[in-house]
Amino acid sequence: MAFVGIDAVVFGATDMAQARRMFLDWGLKKLEDNRAGLVFATELGGQVIVRPDGAPGLRPRISDTCQFREVIYGVSSKAHLAGINRDLSRDREVIKDKDGTLHIVDDGGVNVGFRVWRHQKEKTQAATAWNGPGSRRRINQVAPHYTQARPFKIGHIVFYVPDVRVAERFYRERLGFFLSDRYAGGAATYLRWARRSEHHNLFMSRSKTGTTDLNHIAFEVHNLHEVIGGGREFARRGWPVFVGPGRHPISSAYFWYFKSPLGGNIEYFCDADHVTDAWKPSNYRRNRFSEWHLTDGIKQLDDGIVRPSLAAVRAIEKEQKSRAPKNQAAKRSSAARV
């Protein structure tokens, strides 16, 4: 497999403190924090890099309203990186860093980089144990609870582009990406970087303004519990919800999107379809963004019945424990008086 994953995404920022707080609240691990900028990592190692606006070597903004600068894809070998360099140099400028990273502008107007993958590779691990009719896999153990998400990897990235057909042709013919699904009439396309992969790693949608921009960056987490637990905590810390939680009918993934002050959105997702050569792409004619998303179509029942959340129960239990020694002391004092 030539492409391994999204090695890094790069942003500029005028408010570095805000960017630091957001990505720490998001659950990423901080690797660097100095005058040059911030570097955060997912569990697998994919990085979010934030440099001060105007920093040397920082690529141009993708738009006037977004601080996204570049997505860097990791490839499997130096030989593959050299092949990309040879091919793309035929018709565009390719900038090569001292560390070998290549930088180009794709046919949709997005700043894109390529380097040999520097991080871990995804390994087989025990999946979340779910119980269902005829399949009782979680025995004598409680399902996991999450008070904050810890993103596993950067799963996909989504852009608005002026011409989806042109952008798709570049990725399929020049970089060897594979088609998973489309919206008819050049409205949008779902692409993946390997024959066998999650449903999509790159999604491009036709821009209504004829310009290029970032829609969102998606971070995979381990399960639905983490989407909900992580999303609730991120929202509790004051970050605005864009849409969700919910579920996509295309890719089947559960999602929760939040607005990013750096522009575009960031997404927690899990349980996306995994496809192979046997997958048959569809050509959809109507927008199928969500199968459902809260609070879409949900009427809240006002019946006066208290339905406490786990957080509320834990708060009550904590208060009861703190009162217990005082109550016991009062009982002992009362018994002595009798």
pLDDT at 313 over 90: no
pLDDT higher than threshold 70 for residue 142: yes
CA-closest candidate to residue 77, choices 175, 5, 7, 2: 2
What average pLDDT does range 23-36 have in this prediction? 98
Winning range, highest mean pLDDT, from 216-220, 291-295, 296-300: 216-220
Looking at residue 174, what is its pLDDT? 97
The percentage of residues in the chain with a pLDDT greater than 90, rounded to a whole number, is 83
What is the secondary structure of 160-185 as a DSSP string? EES-HHHHHHIIIIIS--EEEEEEGG
Between 315 and 13, the higher pLDDT residue:
13
| Averaged confidence pLDDT in the chain | 93
pLDDT digits (tens, 9 = 90+) for 98-114: 999 999 999 999 999 99
pLDDT band at 327 (very low <50, low <70, confident <90, very high): low
Q: In the predicted model, is pLDDT for residue 330 greater than 80? A: no
More confident residue, 232 or 311: 232
- The pLDDT confidence band at residue 334, using thresholds 50, 70 and 90, is low
Q: Name 178's Cβ contacts closer than 8 Å, sequence gap at least 6.
A: 172, 191, 192, 193, 194, 195, 197
**How many CA atoms does the CB half-sphere of 321 hold within 13 Å?**
6
Q: Is the pLDDT of residue 323 over 90?
A: no
CB-based burial, 147-159: b 16+ in 10 Å, e otherwise: ebbbbbbbbbbbb
pLDDT, one tens digit per residue, over 146-195 is 999 999 999 999 999 999 999 999 999 999 999 999 999 999 999 999 99
Look at the block and give the residue holding tokens 């659950």. 27
The predicted pLDDT at position 316 comes to 87
If you average pLDDT over residues 114-143, what whole number do you get? 93
Residue 304 confidence (pLDDT): 83
Mean pLDDT check: name the lowest of 61-75, 117-131, 142-156, 315-329. Answer: 315-329
- Confidence at 86, pLDDT banded by 50, 70, 90: very high
Q: What percentage of the chain carries pLDDT values higher than 70?
A: 93
Residue 257 confidence (pLDDT) above 60: yes
CATH H-level, domain 3-120+148-293: superfamily: 2,3-Dihydroxybiphenyl 1,2-Dioxygenase, domain 1 (3.10.180.10)
- Reply yes or no on whether the pLDDT at 306 is more than 80: no
- For residue 324, pLDDT over 90 is answered with no
Contact between 302 and 294 (Cβ < 8 Å) = no
pLDDT on residue 35: 96
Asked if residue 33 has pLDDT above 90, the reply is: yes
Q: What are phi and psi of 243, to 5 degrees?
A: -165, 145
pLDDT at position 336, please?
56
Q: What is the CA radius of gyration of the chain?
A: 24
Q: How many CB atoms lie within 10 A of CB 31?
A: 13
- How far apart CA 105 and CA 148 sit, in angstroms, is 36
Q: What is the mean pLDDT of residues 75-98?
A: 97
Q: Higher-confidence residue: 296 or 256?
A: 256
Average pLDDT over residues 259-287: 96
Q: Are 77 and 89 in contact (CB under 8 A)?
A: no
The reported pLDDT for the residue numbered 311 is 73
